[in-house]
């Protein structure tokens, strides 16, 4: 679900990393140099032409996996399986799913893919992240999810003193000599 390619922007091609799933309904690109996409108003992420930006990347791969780790943004999506592995959760039991932004709601035709699942939302530590997490949780409950809850990073700090704002920031805390006191996937039944 992680790809590399050249993406056109601002009159030239840029090396980029992309995330998508087998449905190819959504594909999001970020520049490898960390730069912004100038052609779309200096944004961090760019939807490739012809995709549905609201489609949850990874939803097509949920299948029989009992646990869903719902994330906002591509860095959190990439960190999801690392977090599961670090916390000792069988990677085959967890389906990482990415919403491409807090402004998106889960499309009606994607909701049945979450029915009967335990869903944990990795909540971004800002107002937009909390609002989106609540909207997604409401949608998922109505769609028949077995359970929906969230992991909030509020109050956590990184080793350099900066706040932990999301799942990707949380993954920077991994240290074999200083195990984490909290687990993002802790308490989720299989």
Span 56-78, pLDDT tens digits: 999 999 999 999 999 999 999 99
Question: In which residue are the tokens 């930006």 written?
Answer: 53
Tokens of 113: 């893919």
Note whether residue 116 is domain-resident. yes
Note whether residue 42 is domain-resident. no
Q: What is the pLDDT of residue 189?
A: 61
**CATH code at 75?**
3.40.1360
73 shares its domain with 6: no
DSSP characters for the chain? -EEEEEEEETTEEEEEEEEE-TT-S-EEEEETT---BGGGTSBSEEEPTT--TTS-BTGGG-TT-SEEEEEESHHHHHHHHHHHHHTT--GGGEEEEEES-TTPPPPTTTGGGGTT-EEEEEE-SSHHHHHHHHHHHHHHHHTT-SEEEEEE-TT-B-TTS-B--SHHHHHTT--TTS--S--TTTT---
| Domain count of the fold of the chain | 2
Q: What is the Cα Rg of the chain in Å?
A: 16
67 shares its domain with 133: yes
pLDDT in tens, 6-30: 999 999 999 999 999 999 999 999 9
Q: What is the pLDDT of residue 190?
A: 54
Sign of CA dihedral 163, 169, 170, 171: negative
Q: What is the pLDDT of residue 5?
A: 95
Q: What is the pLDDT of residue 178?
A: 73
149 shares its domain with 76: yes
List the domain range (segments joined by +) for residue 21. 2-37
pTM: 0.92
Own/partner long-range contacts of 134-141 (Cβ < 8 Å, ≥24 apart): 135/105, 136/70, 136/99, 136/105, 136/106, 139/105, 139/106, 139/111, 140/70, 140/106, 140/111, 140/114
Q: What is the pLDDT of residue 183?
A: 78
Listed as ranges, residues in the chain with pLDDT below 50 are: none
Note whether residue 72 is domain-resident. yes
């Amino acid at each position: 679900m992680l790809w590399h390619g050249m993406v056109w922007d601002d009159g030239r091609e840029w090396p980029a990393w992309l995330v998508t799933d087998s449905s190819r309904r959504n594909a999001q690109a970020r520049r490898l140099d960390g730069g912004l996409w100038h052609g779309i108003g200096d944004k961090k992420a760019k939807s490739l032409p012809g995709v549905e930006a609201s489609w949850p990347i990874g939803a097509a791969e949920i299948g029989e996996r009992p646990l869903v780790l719902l994330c906002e943004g591509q860095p959190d999506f990439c960190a999801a399986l690392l977090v599961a592995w670090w916390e000792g959760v069988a990677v085959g039991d967890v389906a990482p799913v990415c919403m491409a932004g807090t402004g998106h709601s889960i499309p009606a035709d994607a909701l049945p893919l979450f029915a009967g699942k335990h869903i944990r939302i990795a909540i971004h530590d800002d107002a937009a992240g909390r609002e989106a997490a609540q909207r997604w949780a409401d949608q998922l409950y109505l769609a028949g999810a077995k359970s929906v809850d969230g992991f909030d990073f509020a109050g956590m700090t990184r080793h350099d003193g900066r706040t932990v704002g999301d799942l990707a920031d949380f993954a920077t805390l991994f240290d074999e000599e200083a195990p984490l006191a909290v687990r993002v996937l802790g308490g989720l039944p299989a």
